Amino acid sequence: MPRSYPDRPFVGIGVVVFKDDHVLLVRRAKPPIRHNWSIPGGAQEIGETVREGALRELKEETALDAEIIGLIDVVDSVTRDDDGRIQFHYTLVDFAAEWTAGEAAPDTDVAAVRWIPIADLDKEELWHETVRIIRRAVDMRAR
């Protein structure tokens, strides 16, 4: 099924990855949020758990390994076209994780990767839900 103008929502998985006092961002290379900075992630594949998918997507997009801390939240992402038709619909399952190995490098789904200081989060131009998810992950990590 095509991802644009779908018959049903897709399950997307995101990962807020921490390394010391930094969080990982990726710049998307494909629609629906091409050129925007976000957390790494992608679509769940048939037969894999959301946790397996989160770690697979992280590895594929950034060449990093991480250990999942826990589930942050589930976010609905619905994008409508100019005629009001649903162009993209994702149910996003977001996890927090600690970096364990690897040097961040972009793959084909992302144009760039970078670590930003958590303290500089407000300086970034991110979707409000991405900021909320990262802040919840920071709180989760502190506990």
Per domain, the residue ranges of the chain are 10-142
Superfamily of segment(s) 10-142: Nucleoside Triphosphate Pyrophosphohydrolase (3.90.79.10)
Q: Across the chain, which distance is largest between two alpha carbons, in Å?
A: 45
Q: Does the pLDDT of residue 65 top 90, yes or no?
A: yes
Judged on CB neighbours under 10 Å (0-12, 13-18, 19+), 67 is: exposed
Q: Per-residue pLDDT tens for 3-47?
A: 889 899 999 999 999 999 999 999 988 766 677 899 999 999 999
CA distances from 75 to 22, 83, 91, 114, 133 (A): 23, 24, 6, 23, 9
- What kind and span of H or E run contains 131? helix 128-142
Residue 55: other Cβ atoms inside 10 A: 21
Q: What is the pLDDT of residue 32?
A: 64
Q: Per-residue pLDDT tens for 91-124?
A: 999 999 999 999 999 987 899 999 999 999 999 8
Q: What is the pLDDT of residue 134?
A: 97
Report DSSP state, residue 123: G
* For range 77-91, the mean pLDDT: 93
